Structure 1
Amino acid sequence: MRLRFIGPALAGVLGLSAFVWNADSAPENSHAETYQQLDLFAEILARVQTEYVTGVDEAEVMEASIDGMLTSLDPHSSYLNPEEYRSMQVQASGEYGGLGIEITQQDGFILVVSPMDDTPASRAGIQPGDYISAINGEPIVGQPMNDSLKEMRGAPGTDILLTILRENEEPFDVSLTREIIKQNSVSFHTEDTIGYIRISSFNEQTTDGVNDALTALKKELGTKMSGLILDLRNNPGGLLNQAVGVSSAFLDGGEVVSTRGRHPNDVQRYNARQGERVEGLPIIVLINGGSASAAEIVAGALQDHNRATILGEISFGKGSVQSVIPLGPQRGAIRLTTSRYYTPSNASIQGAGIEPDIEVAQTRLSDEEMEHIEKRQKRYSEANLRNALENDQGRERRPPHIPNDQPPVGYSGEDYQLERALTKLRSMDFASDLSQKG
């Protein structure tokens, strides 16, 4: 069984017999070159075993070699040893132990894609775009991401110290206490006659959570419901089938996303089920630089079908699909990028991201931040990750810039983007424009 993931990367001895080669399907020269490289690898391993200054754990060395091969392909491919594979399966179910943080690796540092709602990471104030440079005082720069994930996970109730690097601030330490992460990915409330649904990630519970939220909102507001806000900000993604399921709640059929692999006939199309839950209701989707993958699929589908207006900032731009491929008992699995995904209008957002219809900044940038806007914004982009896949359509991310709509000087509110969305939904002109688009 293969799990299809579209979120950021999560955080055994493989003998030469595991390298299966079909000589009939490969040119002879390529076949010979491959075995020369395998001979080179075996020679280097033998040198390490006999001549390195200290003894080495051969299993760990081999595991690191396998992971290095996979991580050289793109930022999201990796090897999962048996322990990591079991942990990944638990995380996909929506409940696991740790800090509640989605990470990837950039230039040797651990980059925070997004903290999850109501977890130790979010409560400690960790933000998308932060870098983690040390754990419990020990530098982790250049360390494999899976090793950093192991260190961050642990028994509930135990403490951990993270050193954070943040733009325009001195490095600082954050102390967190690990806990069981019960990833309730959906929350909701009402704003007068407007419904609000927040999706923090896409796990196995998300589609049911969204449908339950819609049922509760319709019961509370009834025919008075005048609009809906779907908040996908800082949502790092997750399971592909859940992105399709959530989109089905807001579309009456039609394509949600397609995926295309290495070969021309390796195409899969995923359609929304008929039976939209809020037909004709104006919808605004909130996104930002922490909205990635499955979140981008939902935003892109609703945007392409003219079913919602997208408000906020350009999304992260992760347009690839990872398959988790089990390798057998006690051998773990590989997490391998196997395809790209495309929105219903046939647009690949890999590296480019989803452009909002209405661009609104959440915070007002200082003069110093404005001078370094390019350096600041590259932390929120798939395109800036090492070995990131290129956009096969040649689409490029919009250059760093300052949105025209940002909080006024002295703004003291809590959520400027949400306030702007509410103002738009309460506008009769906005509702009229939506009806014309549909």
Structure 2
Amino acid sequence: MMRKTLPLFISPALLAAVLILVLPRLLRTGAHRPDDHEAGVDTYREVYALAKRTAYREVPDEELIAGAANGMLKVIDRYSRAYDPKQWQRFQRRSEGRALGVGIIFTRLEGGVRILRIMPNSPASRADLRPGDKVIAVDDDVLPEDADATLLQTMLEGATARKIRLKLEALSDGSVRTVTVVRGTYATPSILTQWLEEEQVLYLKCSRFHEETDEEIARALIAAEDRHLAGIVLDLRDNSGGSLSGAVGVVSAFAHPPVVVVAAHRDRRVDYPPSASPVDMETPLCILVDEHSASASEVVAGALQDLMRGTVVGTRTFGKGVMQNIYALRTREMGVKLTTARWLTPSGRSVQQGAGGGGGGIIPDVFASRPKSEESLLGEWWSRLDVPDELVALMEKDESRVHIGPRFRDSQLAVALKVLKGEPVLEAVSGS
């Protein structure tokens, strides 16, 4: 037998009275009941107060705040972090491809510290400075006889723009002159080039990706258009990454696919198309990688491999398949780098270590290892890129330096050159 349910009627006047009397009390009660977020903020304030009041040494507020933020971000992953004001300024300059200084690379050579390379569009490039000049004094400080490049670099560093007087001895005739250079910010090149005459190959060494790397690549390719190019080597070894936009731009210089890289966020997917028109889609291309090639380097190598635009040569890459966004904090002159997405190659591959149970990284098309004995030789060869021939000749004669010879090719580069020529590669095995 079913019971009848009678409808319940409440008059509007009674309902209004209940809301007026009870709701404010409920709101007041809720306002004093801290949720997890408020409890977390209270915990932070309590720890901060303890540290300021009772720690055995006084720590600046910026360091305490950055330390607290880093402790929080480490829970997410090892790539997320906070920057205190000084670190934030340096990070911003680096990500923009800018540095603070005069724009000179020095080396110890011929009994002193000499100018090895002058950065284009730097303060030094606007002064009467030449590669090979020996530095005798900085302002009124005479360099000691045993001074090295590191000491001189330290003497020229500083956070403010100012005039610096350099007393120099010319390499050509030994004449002495004093040159004034104004310290300031300048663009740091991320691409060094070398024309391999015998092989007719353009070698591009990319040390890091920043906002202007794609423009540097484009300029290098356009400058080589008058040559009879047999191939291009893009060297991403020891390149730990950098700007995603720079990486997308580099891929765009060689190919024009619908998608260069995919960002898989928590709640959405973002496709990154090419950022510019291609410069060279035809010349045979090899991409050199190693275990230190990471992040943006893997974006480039993975995309060009997926698109079959180039052959990847070397060893398995690092395996950093996540991307970070950069946020400037509103409350202080600080910043945060936060992992916000996984990235995928155009074919949908993830290179993240442990993804799908694998070791991660880009597996090269042609495996080629680098002997330990070549580490110092390769470093010396890289230091000579874009250096005038007469200075390179002096470097080769210097008994204190590693001798490599004018036709040095490291093992991995030698394999890449054979691949470009279509020759059989006996030193390497398939990377599959």
Report the TM-score when normalising by structure 1.
0.58
1:9-408 alignment, distance < 5 Å: 32-97=35-100, 157=156, 183-191=188-196, 192-221=199-228, 225-263=229-267, 266-272=268-274, 275-328=277-330, 330-351=332-353, 352-363=360-371
- Secondary structure of the 1:316 match is coil
Structure 2 regions of 5+ residues with no counterpart?
Answer: 1-30, 104-115, 119-152, 159-183, 354-359, 375-406, 426-432
Question: Contact (CA 8 Å) 2:63, 2:84: kept in 1 or not?
Answer: no
After TM superposition, give the deviation of residue 233 of structure 1 in Å: 0.9
After TM superposition, give the deviation of residue 307 of structure 1 in Å: 1.1
Question: Contact (CA 8 Å) 2:62, 2:84: kept in 1 or not?
Answer: no
After TM superposition, give the deviation of residue 156 of structure 1 in Å: 5.0
After TM superposition, give the deviation of residue 227 of structure 1 in Å: 1.7
Alpha-carbon distance in 2 for matches of 1:277, 1:417: 26
Q: What is the CA deviation profile of residues 24-58 of structure 1, one whole-angstrom value per residue up to 9, with x for unaligned ones?
A: xxxx9x97334334333333333334444455545
Which amino acid counterpart does residue 350 of structure 2 have in structure 1?
Answer: S
Which amino acid counterpart does residue 368 of structure 2 have in structure 1?
Answer: V
Question: Contact (CA 8 Å) 2:97, 2:189: kept in 1 or not?
Answer: yes
After TM superposition, give the deviation of residue 364 of structure 1 in Å: 5.5
Question: Contact (CA 8 Å) 2:66, 2:83: kept in 1 or not?
Answer: no
Question: Contact (CA 8 Å) 1:253, 1:273: kept in 2 or not?
Answer: no
- Secondary structure of the 2:226 match is helix
Which amino acid counterpart does residue 183 of structure 1 have in structure 2?
Answer: T
- Secondary structure of the 2:270 match is strand
Question: Contact (CA 8 Å) 2:292, 2:318: kept in 1 or not?
Answer: yes
- Secondary structure of the 1:259 match is strand
Which amino acid counterpart does residue 306 of structure 2 have in structure 1?
Answer: D
Alpha-carbon distance in 1 for matches of 2:239, 2:53: 48
What is the alpha-carbon root mean square deviation over aligned residues?
3.5
Aligned pair in 2 of structure 1 residues 309, 34: CA closer, same or farther (>3 Å)?
same
After TM superposition, give the deviation of residue 62 of structure 1 in Å: 3.0
Aligned pair in 2 of structure 1 residues 156, 258: CA closer, same or farther (>3 Å)?
farther
Alpha-carbon distance in 2 for matches of 1:279, 1:44: 58
Greater length-normalized contact order (CA 8 Å, ≥ 6 residues apart): 1
Give the greater-gyration-radius structure (CA).
2
Which amino acid counterpart does residue 315 of structure 1 have in structure 2?
Answer: T
Aligned pair in 2 of structure 1 residues 38, 313: CA closer, same or farther (>3 Å)?
same
After TM superposition, give the deviation of residue 313 of structure 1 in Å: 0.7
Question: Contact (CA 8 Å) 1:261, 1:339: kept in 2 or not?
Answer: yes
After TM superposition, give the deviation of residue 181 of structure 1 in Å: 8.3
Match of 1:424 among 415, 419, 427: 419
Which amino acid counterpart does residue 192 of structure 2 have in structure 1?
Answer: S
Percent of residue pairs identical: 30
- Secondary structure of the 1:218 match is coil
Q: What is the CA deviation profile of residues 128-171 of structure 1, one whole-angstrom value per residue up to 9, with x for unaligned ones?
A: xxxxxxxxxxxxxxxxxxxxxxxxxx965369xxxxxxxxxxxx
Alpha-carbon distance in 2 for matches of 1:59, 1:186: 35
Aligned pair in 2 of structure 1 residues 41, 187: CA closer, same or farther (>3 Å)?
closer
Q: What is the CA deviation profile of residues 88-131 of structure 1, one whole-angstrom value per residue up to 9, with x for unaligned ones?
A: 22112223249x9xxxxxxxxxxxxxxxx989xxxxxxxxxxxx
Alpha-carbon distance in 2 for matches of 1:282, 1:253: 17
Alpha-carbon distance in 2 for matches of 1:203, 1:416: 28
Q: What is the CA deviation profile of residues 199-236 of structure 1, one whole-angstrom value per residue up to 9, with x for unaligned ones?
A: 11111221111111111122122xxx222211111112
Question: Contact (CA 8 Å) 1:206, 1:242: kept in 2 or not?
Answer: yes
Aligned pair in 2 of structure 1 residues 329, 226: CA closer, same or farther (>3 Å)?
same
- Secondary structure of the 1:66 match is helix
Q: What is the CA deviation profile of residues 318-352 of structure 1, one whole-angstrom value per residue up to 9, with x for unaligned ones?
A: 11111111122634221111111100110111121
2:400 paired with 1:415: no
Alpha-carbon distance in 2 for matches of 1:72, 1:347: 26
Question: Contact (CA 8 Å) 1:236, 1:291: kept in 2 or not?
Answer: yes
Aligned pair in 2 of structure 1 residues 36, 312: CA closer, same or farther (>3 Å)?
same
After TM superposition, give the deviation of residue 413 of structure 1 in Å: 5.8
Alpha-carbon distance in 2 for matches of 1:43, 1:246: 49
After TM superposition, give the deviation of residue 428 of structure 1 in Å: 5.9
Structure 1 regions of 5+ residues with no counterpart?
Answer: 1-27, 101-116, 120-153, 160-178, 367-411, 431-438
Q: What is the CA deviation profile of residues 374-398 of structure 1, one whole-angstrom value per residue up to 9, with x for unaligned ones?
A: xxxxxxxxxxxxxxxxxxxxxxxxx
Which amino acid counterpart does residue 227 of structure 1 have in structure 2?
Answer: G
After TM superposition, give the deviation of residue 80 of structure 1 in Å: 1.9
After TM superposition, give the deviation of residue 243 of structure 1 in Å: 0.9
Question: Contact (CA 8 Å) 1:259, 1:268: kept in 2 or not?
Answer: yes
